[in-house]
């Protein structure tokens, strides 16, 4: 385990260890997407807990792209100061800090968006939720909103941004052959479906040069025979690297959710449950890592030393992502370093149910238990 507590240099930034707190929406923001004291304290606890890098939850780049009614936003100038308070908390604890930039796309709901969700094609993610197919002009506006959000992130003191191109949200849907049936330059081949992500990466570089570390989170595998497979993920990784990405975060959208079968276009979650093995998505990171020169973050039940340590030793990844482990116990890294047993996530996924109902909860963490 000591190897995972050694420093690592990412695009010129020294990280104090190899652990990354991966982004998960909390729904602790206001209905106007503003930072709250509860949200700031949530990140303070995890920054103090010993993790080397925090990738904050999705900061939506447009109010029409909220993931939940209380999604955190980075689409106004007023958001810069409040988010800057969180970056200061992280940096005061020697923690590198990123924000994930996101747009819900077809996974949004008109009930809280106030209008129809948008999608690369006229294909609903949820069969009961009609979507609006983006025009080329609309796509240009989306790209601009991501680039502008990255500029705000730099102003707020972030070390980097991560583009959320996973889990069925807007950028992910462009990458997906299930969701993207366009016949123009934004559809068809992997290169075409990745064009919107490439445009955003290049747009940020044009604005900020190398002043901001750029990451992309994407699916190493999608549910079903028609979704992205490992060969697609490898090709996409090369495209993102060539476009200027500094780090790749390999997740997946392949864990079947029976209640979504027949209800959603991709009836799956990105969260392996208690019956899934540790390191469920590690092979996808491994395959990507073999083909790129930039660092790779792996995720998916990697909190067990017998999985996390070999993953690093064997070169499967450079950085180990911890999500639910740090929700259950924000002091997980400090405790492990001291030889103590952290409170263990039981992978019940009650956290996600809470997010959808107005605020993150946890069956293990007493401070996050449902009232």
Average pLDDT score over residue span 334-346: 92
The pLDDT, as a whole number, for residue 1 is 60
DSSP string, 192-249: HHTHHHHHHHHHHHHHHTTSSEEEEEEEEEESSTTS--HHHHHHHHHHHHHTT-SEEE
The pLDDT, as a whole number, for residue 371 is 58
Q: Which residues are catalytic?
A: 169
The pLDDT, as a whole number, for residue 202 is 98
Class for the domain spanning 2-368: alpha beta
Dig out the tokens for 228 from the structure: 């992205």
Average pLDDT score over residue span 273-298: 95
The pLDDT, as a whole number, for residue 307 is 82
pLDDT > 90? residue 306: no
pLDDT > 90? residue 205: yes
Number of helical H runs and strand E runs in the chain: 13, 15
pLDDT > 90? residue 357: no
Least confident of 128-132, 194-198, 282-286, 309-313: 309-313
The pLDDT, as a whole number, for residue 370 is 73
The residues, ordered by sequence, that sit 6+ positions from 200 with a Cβ below 8 Å of its Cβ are 143, 146, 147, 163, 171
More confident residue, 137 or 358: 137
Average pLDDT score over residue span 325-349: 93
Question: pLDDT by residue (tens digit) across 235-269?
Answer: 999 999 999 999 999 999 999 999 999 999 999 99
Provide, rounded to the nearest whole percent, the portion of the chain with pLDDT above 90: 91
The pLDDT, as a whole number, for residue 314 is 79
Residue whose token pair is 């959808």: 356
CA distance linking residue 301 with residue 282, whole number of Å: 9
Average pLDDT along the chain: 95
The answer to pTM > 0.95 is yes
DSSP string, 336-353: HHTTPPPPPP----HHHH
DSSP tag of 253: E
pLDDT > 80? residue 99: yes
Question: pLDDT by residue (tens digit) across 107-119?
Answer: 999 999 999 999 9
CA distances from 46 to 93, 160, 172, 183, 352 (A): 10, 18, 27, 44, 18
């Amino acid at each position: 385990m000591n190897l995972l507590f050694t420093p690592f240099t990412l695009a010129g930034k020294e990280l104090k260890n190899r652990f990354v707190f991966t982004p998960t929406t909390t729904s602790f923001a206001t209905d106007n997407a503003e930072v709250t004291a509860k949200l700031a304290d949530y990140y303070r606890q995890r920054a103090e807990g010993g993790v080397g890098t925090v990738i904050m939850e999705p900061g939506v780049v447009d109010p029409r792209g909220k993931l939940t009614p209380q999604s955190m936003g980075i689409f106004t100038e007023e958001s810069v100061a409040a988010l800057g308070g969180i970056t200061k908390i992280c940096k005061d604890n020697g923690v590198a800090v990123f924000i994930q930039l996101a747009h819900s796309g077809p996974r949004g709901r008109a009930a809280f968006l106030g209008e129809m969700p948008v999608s690369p094609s006229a294909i609903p993610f949820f069969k009961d939720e009609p979507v609006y197919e983006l025009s080329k002009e609309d796509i240009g506006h989306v790209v601009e909103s991501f680039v502008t959000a990255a500029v705000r992130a730099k102003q707020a003191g972030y070390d980097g941004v991560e583009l959320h191109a996973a889990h069925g949200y807007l950028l992910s849907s462009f990458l997906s052959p299930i969701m993207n049936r366009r016949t123009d330059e934004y559809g068809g081949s992997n290169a075409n479906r990745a064009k919107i992500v490439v445009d955003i990466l290049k747009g940020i570089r044009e604005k900020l040069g190398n002043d901001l570390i750029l990451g992309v989170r994407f699916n190493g595998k999608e549910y079903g025979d028609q979704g992205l497979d490992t060969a697609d993920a490898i090709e996409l990784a090369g495209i993102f690297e060539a476009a200027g990405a500094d780090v790749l975060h390999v997740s997946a959208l392949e864990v079947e959710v029976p209640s979504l079968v027949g209800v959603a276009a991709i009836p799956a979650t990105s969260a392996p449950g208690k019956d899934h093995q540790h390191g469920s998505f590690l092979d996808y990171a491994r395959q990507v890592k073999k083909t790129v020169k930039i660092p790779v973050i792996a995720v998916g039940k990697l909190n067990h030393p017998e999985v996390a340590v070999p993953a690093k030793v064997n070169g499967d990844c450079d950085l180990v992502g911890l999500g639910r482990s740090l929700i259950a116990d924000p002091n997980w890294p400090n405790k492990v370093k001291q030889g103590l047993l952290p409170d263990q996530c039981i992978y019940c996924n009650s956290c996600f149910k809470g997010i959808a109902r107005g605020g993150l909860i946890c069956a293990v963490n007493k401070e996050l238990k449902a009232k």
